[in-house]
Structure 1
Amino acid sequence: MFDKFRLKEVLVEYKKRFVQQQWPNEKYKWEAVQCFQLNWDVNSDDFAQMLTKALAQTANLLASVNNFPARMITKFAEIAPEEVRSMYIELYDESKDLYERVANFKNKSNTLLERYGNGAAQHYQYENAIMTYLWLRYPDKYYIYKLSEVKAVSSELESDYRFKKGAYADNIRNFVAFYDEICAELQQDDELRNLLNSQITSTCYPDPELRTLTIDVGFFISRYWNKEEEGPKADEWWPTDYTPALTVEDWIGLLGDSEVFNDSSLEIMKRMKDYGGKATCTQLAVKYGETKNFYNSGSQALARRVIAKTGCPVMARDDESSRLWPVLYVGKDANKDEEGSYVWKLRDELASALDHVDLTNVPLYAQLPEGEDGQHYWFLNANPKMWSMSSMPVGEVQDYTLFNDNGNKRRIFQNFIDAKAGDMVIGYESTPVKQIVAVFRVSAEQDGQRIYFEKLEGLSSPIDFATLKACPELEKMEYFSITQGSLFKLTKGEYEFIIDLIREENPAPTSEKTKDEYSKEKFLEQVYMTEAKYDRLVAVLTKKKNIILQGAPGVGKTYAAKRLAYSIMGEKDDDRIEFVQFHQNYSYEDFMMGYKPVEDGFELKYGIFYRFCQKAANHPDKDYFFIIDEINRGNMSKIFGELLMLIEADYRETKATLAYNGLSFSVPKRLHIIGMMNTADRSLAMIDYALRRRFSFFDMEPGFDSEGFIKYQEGFANDTFNTLIDRIKELNREIAKDKSLGKGFCIGHSYFCNVDECTDEWMQDVVDFDVLPMLAEYWFDDADKLQRWENILHGVFQ
Structure 2
Amino acid sequence: MINKKVFNELLAKYKEDFPKYWPNERYKWIAVKWFQEHWDINAEDFSSMIKIAMSKTSNLLASYNNYPYLVIMDIAKKFPEETRAMFINLFDESKDILERIKLFKDTSKLLYAQFETGQHYQNENAITVYLWLHYPDKYYIYKFGEVKTVAESLEFEKSFKKGAYADNILNFYQLYDLISDEISRDSEIKYLLNANITDECYRDPKLKTLTFDFGFYISRYYLQDHNKVNEWFPADYTPNITTEKWVELLKNPDVFNIQSLEIMKRLMDIGGQATCRQLSLKYGNSVNFYNRGSSVLAQRIAKYTNCPVIEKSDEDLKWWPILYLGRNVSQDSLGTFEWKIRDELFSALEQVDLESVSLYVDPSPALWKISHGTESTGISNSNKRKFLERNIVVVHGTTKAKGVSNTTQGESFMYTMKKGDYFYLCFGNEVKLLGRITSDILIENNEIGNQWYERPYEVIKESISDQPFSGVEKWWTPNHNSTCIKIDEKELFEDLILNPYFEMTLNELFQTHNIEVIYEKYTKEHFLNEVFMTEQRYDILVAVLRNKKNIILQGAPGVGKTYAANRLAYSMMGEKDETRIEFVQFHQNYSYEDFMMGYKPNEDGFELRMGIFYRFCQQALNQPDKEHFFIIDEINRGNLSKIFGELLMLIEKDYRGNKLTLAYNGLPFIVPKNVYLIGMMNTADRSLAMIDYALRRRFSFFELEPGFTTEGFKKYQEALNNDLFNDLITMIQELNDDISNDRTLGKGFCIGHSYFLGQSACSEEWVHSIIEYEIIPMISEYWFDEPNKLHRWENNLRGIFQ
TM over 0.5: no
- TM-score after normalising by structure 1: 0.38
* Greater Cα radius of gyration, structure 1 or 2: 1
